[in-house]
Amino acid sequence: MVEALAGDEWPAIRSDLLQQMEQSNSPNKIDVYLHEQMLVEAMAVIDRSFSSFYLERVIEAARTAYPDWGIDKCKRQAEGIMNAGQAKHYDRAAAWLSTARDIYRQHGREAEWQAYLAGLLDLHARKYKLVPMLRAIRSQ
């Protein structure tokens, strides 16, 4: 809407608005960055001040151009749950790992994914609620 109202002045106004927004502490600026395809800026906001509400959206938007960033974020989320033994949240860990798996596969990195998952199965072999979930991810 602002763009349409600004007409030919939009590039200058856009630049000023983005500069002002950068100074804001609001995580809502992630919406603008995603709309503007400013993935690096959106990822930087997540890196500086974690917002789980936006994390999945930024991972999804960045998965083609920045797969390692998305994989790392997914793994950290899952590992935090698994390493803490938070059994009631293992399903959430499995969901994060499924997203990581999908990004690995999207980029032809199946062997790397399988090695990582095998390591998780070894590390968490005694977590009887978690192991079936990890095996299910492997077979999907």
On whether both 72 and 139 belong to a single domain, the answer is: yes
The predicted-structure confidence for 36-65, as pLDDT tens digits, reads as follows 899 999 999 999 876 778 999 999 999 999
On whether both 24 and 54 belong to a single domain, the answer is: yes
Contact 84, 130 (CB under 8 A): no
On whether both 9 and 51 belong to a single domain, the answer is: yes
Q: Which domain holds residue 136?
A: 68-140
Identify the domain boundary among 62, 88, 103. 62
Q: What's the pLDDT score for residue 90? A: 98
Q: What's the pLDDT score for residue 6? A: 64
On whether both 47 and 91 belong to a single domain, the answer is: no
How does residue 2 score in pLDDT terms, banded at 50, 70 and 90?
Answer: low
Looking at residue 88, its amino acid is K
The predicted-structure confidence for 120-135, as pLDDT tens digits, reads as follows 999 999 999 999 999 9
Per-chain mean pLDDT for the chain: 91
HSE at residue 71, side-chain half, CA atoms within 13 A, is 18
Q: Residue 1 pLDDT more than 60?
A: no
Structural domains in the chain (count) = 2
Average pLDDT, stretch 22-32? 81
How does residue 4 score in pLDDT terms, banded at 50, 70 and 90?
Answer: confident
The total number of residues written for the chain in this structure = 140
